[in-house]
Amino acid sequence: MTKQDEQVPPTKALSTFRVNPSLPEQLEPLTGLAYNLRWAWDAPTRELFQRADPQAWLDSGHNPVAVLARLGHQRMQELASDADFLADLERRRAALQRYLTEERWAQQEDPPPPAVAYFSPEFGLTAGMQVYSGGLGVLAGDHLKAASDLGLDLVGVGLLYRHGYFRQYLDHDGWQHEQYPDLNPHDLPLTRLERGGAPVTVEVELAERTVGCAIWRGEVGRIPLLLLDTDLEENDPSDRPITDKLYGGDREHRLRQEIVLGVAGVRALRRARELGEVPFEPIVYHSNEGHAALLQVERVRELVVEEGLEFDEAVQAARAPVLFTTHTPVPAGIDVFERDLAARYLAPMADACGVDTDRMLALGRHHGDEFNMAVLALRLSSAANGVSRLHGHVARDLFDDLWPELPAAEVPITSVTNGVHGSTWIGPEMTSVYDRHLPADWRSDPDAFAVAAKIDDEVIWQARQRERERLVTSVRERVRHQRERRGEPAYGLGWTEEVLDPDALTIGFARRFAQYKRGTLLLRQPERLRELLLSPERPVQLVFAGKAHPRDDGGKDLIRQLVHFGADPAIRDRFVFLEDYDMDLAAALYHGVDVWLNTPRRPYEACGTSGEKAALNGVLNCSILDGWWDEMADAENGFSIGTRETHPPEEQDALDAEALFDTLEHGVVPTFYERRDGSIPRRWVGMIRHSIASLGPRVLASRMVREYVTELYAPVAARAEGLIAEGYRGARELARWKQRVQEAWPAVRVTDVRTDPGEADLGDRRELRVQVELGPLSPDDIAVELLHGSVDADGTISAPARQSLELVERHDGTADFAGSFAVRDVGEYGYAVRALPDHTGLASRAELGLARFAAPEAAGDEVGPEESGEPVWEAST
Ligand SMILES: *Cc1c(COP(=O)(O)O)cnc(C)c1O
C-alpha to C-alpha distance for 728 and 477, rounded to whole angstroms:
62
Whether residue 248 has its Cβ less than 6 Å from ligand 1: no
3-state DSSP percent of the chain in helix, strand and coil, to 5: 45, 20, 35
C-alpha to C-alpha distance for 859 and 757, rounded to whole angstroms:
10
The answer to whether 334 and 327 are in contact (CB under 8 A) is: no
Nearest-CA residue for atom 3 of ligand 1: 135
Instruction: Tell me, yes or no, whether 302 and 165 share the same domain.
Output: yes
Q: pLDDT value at position 685?
A: 98
Q: Is the pLDDT of residue 35 over 80?
A: yes
Does residue 681 come out as left (phi exceeding 0), alpha (psi in the -120 to 50 range) or beta?
A: beta
Specify the higher pLDDT residue, 643 or 18. 643
Burial 16-35 (b: 16+ CB within 10 A, else e): eeeeeeebeebbebbeebbb
Distance 687 CA to ligand 1 centre (A): 23
For residue 398, what are the CA distances in angstroms to 151, 183, 333, 430?
Answer: 35, 38, 11, 40
Number of C-beta neighbours around residue 646 at 10 A: 11
For residue 596, what are the CA distances in angstroms to 111, 179, 335, 616?
Answer: 41, 28, 30, 12
Whether residue 108 is contained in a domain is answered as no
Whether residue 400 is contained in a domain is answered as yes
Instruction: Tell me, yes or no, whether 381 and 453 share the same domain.
Output: no
Q: Is the pLDDT of residue 875 over 50?
A: no
C-alpha to C-alpha distance for 289 and 262, rounded to whole angstroms:
12
Whether residue 271 has its Cβ less than 6 Å from ligand 1: no
The answer to whether 636 and 690 are in contact (CB under 8 A) is: yes
pLDDT grade, residue 874 (50/70/90)? very low
Distance 249 CA to ligand 1 centre (A): 23
Q: What is the pLDDT of residues 384-441, one digit of tens each?
A: 999 999 999 999 999 999 999 999 999 999 999 999 999 999 999 999 999 999 999 8
Instruction: Tell me, yes or no, whether 486 and 464 share the same domain.
Output: yes
Number of the ligand 1 atom closest to the C-alpha atom of 605:
8
For 203, the 3-state DSSP assignment is strand
Nearest to 867 by CA among 800, 793, 795, 798: 795
Pairing of strands 829-837, 814-822: unpaired
The answer to whether 257 and 265 are in contact (CB under 8 A) is: no
Whether residue 586 has its Cβ less than 6 Å from ligand 1: yes
C-alpha to C-alpha distance for 446 and 700, rounded to whole angstroms:
6
Instruction: Tell me, yes or no, whether 435 and 569 share the same domain.
Output: yes
Whether residue 554 is contained in a domain is answered as yes
Q: pLDDT value at position 138?
A: 98
Distance 289 CA to ligand 1 centre (A): 16
Q: List, in order, residues 6 or more apart from 236 with CB less than 8 Å away.
A: 209, 211
Q: Is the pLDDT of residue 331 over 90?
A: no
Instruction: Tell me, yes or no, whether 550 and 446 share the same domain.
Output: yes
Q: pLDDT value at position 7?
A: 64
Number of the ligand 1 atom closest to the C-alpha atom of 425:
15
Nearest-CA residue for atom 9 of ligand 1: 511
C-alpha to C-alpha distance for 611 and 633, rounded to whole angstroms:
11
Q: pLDDT value at position 6?
A: 59
Distance 262 CA to ligand 1 centre (A): 25
The answer to whether 191 and 277 are in contact (CB under 8 A) is: no
Distance 494 CA to ligand 1 centre (A): 32
Distance 169 CA to ligand 1 centre (A): 19
pLDDT grade, residue 1 (50/70/90)? very low
Domain finish residue from 75, 101, 127 = 101
Whether residue 138 has its Cβ less than 6 Å from ligand 1: yes
Whether residue 600 has its Cβ less than 6 Å from ligand 1: no
Distance 264 CA to ligand 1 centre (A): 28
State which amino acid sits at residue 668. Answer: V
Instruction: Tell me, yes or no, whether 468 and 540 share the same domain.
Output: yes
CA dihedral (375, 381, 383, 384) positive or negative? negative
Q: What is the pLDDT of residues 540-556, one digit of tens each?
A: 999 999 999 999 999 99
Nearest to 446 by CA among 705, 148, 703: 703
Number of C-beta neighbours around residue 196 at 10 A: 5
pLDDT grade, residue 444 (50/70/90)? confident
Q: What is the pLDDT of residues 591-616, one digit of tens each?
A: 999 999 999 999 999 999 999 999 99
Instruction: Tell me, yes or no, whether 128 and 80 share the same domain.
Output: no
The answer to whether 157 and 326 are in contact (CB under 8 A) is: no
Domain finish residue from 659, 679, 699 = 699
Nearest-CA residue for atom 12 of ligand 1: 134
Q: pLDDT value at position 877?
A: 29
Distance 137 CA to ligand 1 centre (A): 9
Nearest-CA residue for atom 5 of ligand 1: 610
H/E run at residue 807: strand 806-810
Distance 138 CA to ligand 1 centre (A): 7
Q: pLDDT value at position 862?
A: 40
Q: Is the pLDDT of residue 291 over 70?
A: yes
| Best probe residue, ligand 1, of 136, 138, 327 (max atoms within 8 Å of C-beta) | 138
Nearest to 438 by CA among 692, 246, 620: 692
Q: pLDDT value at position 416?
A: 98
Mean pLDDT of 820-844: 92
C-alpha to C-alpha distance for 538 and 530, rounded to whole angstroms:
12
Q: List, in order, residues 6 or more apart from 400 with CB less than 8 Å away.
A: 408, 411
pLDDT grade, residue 856 (50/70/90)? confident
Instruction: Tell me, yes or no, whether 441 and 382 share the same domain.
Output: no
pLDDT grade, residue 870 (50/70/90)? very low
Whether residue 134 has its Cβ less than 6 Å from ligand 1: yes
For residue 169, what are the CA distances in angstroms to 20, 499, 580?
Answer: 34, 20, 7
Distance 474 CA to ligand 1 centre (A): 19
Whether residue 725 is contained in a domain is answered as no
Whether residue 508 has its Cβ less than 6 Å from ligand 1: no
Question: Which stretch of 255-269, 379-393, 447-461, 854-868 has the lowest confidence by average pLDDT?
Answer: 854-868
Q: pLDDT value at position 855?
A: 85
Whether residue 609 has its Cβ less than 6 Å from ligand 1: yes
Number of the ligand 1 atom closest to the C-alpha atom of 611:
7
Q: pLDDT value at position 763?
A: 86
Q: Classify residue 292 as exposed, middle or buried by CB count within 10 Å of its CB (0-12, 13-18, 19+).
A: buried
Instruction: Tell me, yes or no, whether 434 and 402 share the same domain.
Output: no
| Best probe residue, ligand 1, of 609, 613, 700 (max atoms within 8 Å of C-beta) | 609
Domain finish residue from 369, 386, 415 = 415
Q: pLDDT value at position 872?
A: 34
Number of the ligand 1 atom closest to the C-alpha atom of 585:
13
Q: pLDDT value at position 203?
A: 98
Mean pLDDT of 731-746: 96
Instruction: Tell me, yes or no, whether 595 and 504 share the same domain.
Output: yes
Number of the ligand 1 atom closest to the C-alpha atom of 583:
13
| Helix extents (H) in 643-744 | 649-663, 669-673, 682-699, 701-707, 714-744
Range of the domain at 829: 748-859
Number of the ligand 1 atom closest to the C-alpha atom of 517:
9
Local structure of residue 178 (DSSP, 8 states):
E
Nearest-CA residue for atom 1 of ligand 1: 610
Distance 421 CA to ligand 1 centre (A): 12
Mean pLDDT of 128-144: 96
What percent of the chain clears pLDDT 90, i.e. is strictly above it?
Answer: 88
Distance 624 CA to ligand 1 centre (A): 16
Distance 296 CA to ligand 1 centre (A): 28
Nearest-CA residue for atom 4 of ligand 1: 135
Whether residue 582 has its Cβ less than 6 Å from ligand 1: yes
Number of the ligand 1 atom closest to the C-alpha atom of 610:
7
Cα(first)–Cα(last) distance of the chain, in Å? 64
Pairing of strands 371-372, 201-206: unpaired
Nearest-CA residue for atom 15 of ligand 1: 583
The answer to whether 222 and 97 are in contact (CB under 8 A) is: no
Nearest-CA residue for atom 2 of ligand 1: 135
For 842, the 3-state DSSP assignment is coil
Distance 590 CA to ligand 1 centre (A): 10
Whether residue 608 has its Cβ less than 6 Å from ligand 1: yes
| Helix extents (H) in 745-870 | none
For residue 634, what are the CA distances in angstroms to 605, 620, 630, 695?
Answer: 19, 12, 9, 10
pLDDT grade, residue 9 (50/70/90)? confident
Distance 609 CA to ligand 1 centre (A): 6
Whether residue 294 has its Cβ less than 6 Å from ligand 1: no
| Best probe residue, ligand 1, of 420, 610, 632, 700 (max atoms within 8 Å of C-beta) | 610
Specify which residues 543 forms β-bridges with.
Answer: 508, 576
Whether residue 36 has its Cβ less than 6 Å from ligand 1: no
Distance 467 CA to ligand 1 centre (A): 20
Whether residue 135 has its Cβ less than 6 Å from ligand 1: yes
Instruction: Tell me, yes or no, whether 411 and 430 share the same domain.
Output: no
Distance 658 CA to ligand 1 centre (A): 26
The answer to whether 704 and 146 are in contact (CB under 8 A) is: yes
Distance 122 CA to ligand 1 centre (A): 13
Q: What is the pLDDT of residues 754-779, one digit of tens each?
A: 988 788 888 889 899 999 999 999 99
What phi and psi, each to the nearest 5 degrees, are found at residue 139?
Answer: -60, -45
Whether residue 610 has its Cβ less than 6 Å from ligand 1: yes
Half-sphere exposure at residue 626, Cβ-oriented, CA atoms within 13 angstroms? 25
SS (H, E, C) 475-504: HHHHHHHHHHHCCCCHHHHHHHHHCCCCCC
C-alpha to C-alpha distance for 372 and 365, rounded to whole angstroms:
6
Mean of the per-residue pLDDT values of the chain: 93
Instruction: Tell me, yes or no, whether 527 and 500 share the same domain.
Output: yes
For 184, the 3-state DSSP assignment is coil
Distance 683 CA to ligand 1 centre (A): 29
Burial 46-76 (b: 16+ CB within 10 A, else e): bebbebbbeebbeebebbbbbbbbbbeeeeb
C-alpha to C-alpha distance for 213 and 194, rounded to whole angstroms:
12
Pairing of strands 194-195, 620-624: unpaired
Largest CA distance in the chain: 99
Q: Is the pLDDT of residue 19 over 90?
A: no
Number of the ligand 1 atom closest to the C-alpha atom of 607:
8
C-alpha to C-alpha distance for 188 and 205, rounded to whole angstroms:
29
Whether residue 872 is contained in a domain is answered as no
Number of C-beta neighbours around residue 188 at 10 A: 23
Half-sphere exposure at residue 20, Cβ-oriented, CA atoms within 13 angstroms? 6
C-alpha to C-alpha distance for 630 and 626, rounded to whole angstroms:
5
Whether residue 622 is contained in a domain is answered as yes
CATH number of residue 198's parent domain: 3.40.50.2000
Whether residue 270 is contained in a domain is answered as yes
pLDDT grade, residue 869 (50/70/90)? very low
Whether residue 624 has its Cβ less than 6 Å from ligand 1: no
Number of the ligand 1 atom closest to the C-alpha atom of 135:
4
Nearest to 276 by CA among 410, 155, 447: 155
pLDDT grade, residue 513 (50/70/90)? very high
Tell me how many domains the chain contains.
Answer: 4
Residues in the chain: 877
H/E run at residue 445: none
Nearest-CA residue for atom 8 of ligand 1: 608
C-alpha to C-alpha distance for 406 and 233, rounded to whole angstroms:
52
pLDDT grade, residue 866 (50/70/90)? very low
Distance 511 CA to ligand 1 centre (A): 6
Local structure of residue 637 (DSSP, 8 states):
S
Q: How far is CA 248 from the centre of its chain?
A: 20
Whether residue 508 is contained in a domain is answered as yes
